[in-house]
Amino acid sequence: MHHLKGDDAKWADALLRLVAGVPLYGVEKSFKLGPGELLRDRFLVGLKPAEYAKLNLDGLRAALAMPERSFASMAADLKRANFLGLAYEPGSRQRVFKAYVEFPVPARRLAGPTPGTVAAHMIYHGYKWDPDRGEDAALTRYWWAPELDLAEIGACIARQQANITRPEIRATVEQIVARCARDCDARKFQYIEAREGAGSRASYDLNVYAAALPVAEVAGLLRGAARALAVDPAALETLLAQCADCTLGHVSAGTDRHGQDFLTIYHEQ
C-alpha cells in the first residue's frame, strides 16, 4: 500500500490495521504536486455503512489521534451518511489524516454556494487533522454540481482557479479535462467544489473515472505543471512509470488553505 518510513509509516499502518479484515468499498491512491515538492504514498480506503458499523469508533479516534470535538461531530454525521472514506497523507511540513463523510443526495437537490446559477448539493464533510498536533480538525464542505456539460465544467474550473499564480497549472487541467472528454460525455464526470470557512482555499475536484483512461494518457500533460512548481523531474518520472497503467480517477487543483498552488492526481491502486 505504501513505501513510507518512520512516523509516516507508523500512522499509515495505524489506519491500515484499523480496517484490516473489513470489506473495503474501493482503495484509491494519489500524488500531489506543490511548490518544490511531490507528495506520494497518499491513500484512501472507502467503507459503506454496513462496514464502518463494524469499526470500533472509539478505537478509530484513539488509533488515528482524532481530536475529541471533531470526532464527536464526525460520529454524529455518520448516523445519516452513506459512505466513509479514511485517508492518510504524508507531507514534508505536516502529515494529515482525513475522514470524508458522504451524505445521501435528496430527491430535490439543494441550492448551494457554487458557480453562478449552477445548483449543487453539499455532499461531503471532510475532517482533516495532524495526529501529532492535537488541534481540532479543519472542516471542509464539498459541494457537488451534477450533470455539467463541458462548457459548464470549464467555467467552474476557471472561476476556482482564478487565484492560481502559475498559468501552467490552469493549462494542464484544461488539457486533462479536454482529453478525458474526447471520448466520454462530460456530463458523466462529477464536479465538486471545496469550501473551508473564510480561508484562502479555493479548489475543486473533477471525478473522471467514466473516461476510463490510464494515467499514462495524461502523464505528458503533467510535466508543464511540474516544471512550474519546481518538482524534481526524476522523481516525477519514476512515479508516473509506476502508476502508468492505473485508471485515472480525479484531478484536483486550486489553492490550499495556506494559499499555495497545487495539482493532485487520484487513481485506482
Following DSSP, what letter does each residue of 23-50 receive, concatenated?
PPS-EEEEEEEETTEEEEEEEEEEE-HH
pLDDT at 134: 83
Report the distance separating Cα 37 and Cα 263, nearest Å. Answer: 11
Nearest to 213 by CA among 238, 174, 244: 244
Report the distance separating Cα 8 and Cα 91, nearest Å. Answer: 9
List Cα–Cα distances, 37 to 130, 173, 229, 232, in angstroms. Answer: 19, 18, 8, 7
pLDDT digits (tens, 9 = 90+) for 8-38: 999 999 999 999 999 999 999 999 999 999 9
Would you mind telling me the total number of residues written for the chain in this entry? 269
* CA pseudo-torsion sign 175, 37, 239, 32: negative
* Coil, helix or strand at residue 166: coil
Report the distance separating Cα 112 and Cα 93, nearest Å. Answer: 33
* Coil, helix or strand at residue 88: strand
pTM (2 d.p.)? 0.93
Following DSSP, what letter does each residue of 96-156 receive, concatenated?
EEEEEEE-PPPSSPPP-S-STT---EEEEEEEEE-TTT-PPPEEEEEEEE-S--HHHHHHH
Mean pLDDT of the chain: 92
pLDDT at 130: 96
CA–CA–CA angle 124, 246, 170 (5° rounding): 60
The pairs formed by 129-132 with CB atoms below 8 angstroms and a separation of 24 or more are 129/65, 129/66, 129/67, 129/70, 129/96, 129/97, 130/94, 130/95, 130/96, 130/97, 131/11, 131/64, 131/65, 131/66, 131/95, 131/97, 132/7, 132/65, 132/95
Q: Which three cell numbers stand for residue 269?
A: 491502486
Q: How is residue 92 annotated by DSSP?
A: S
Report the distance separating Cα 265 and Cα 75, nearest Å. Answer: 29
Q: At what angle do helices 233-242 and 216-228 cross, to 10 degrees?
A: 160
Residue ranges, the chain, pLDDT below 70: 106-119, 198-200
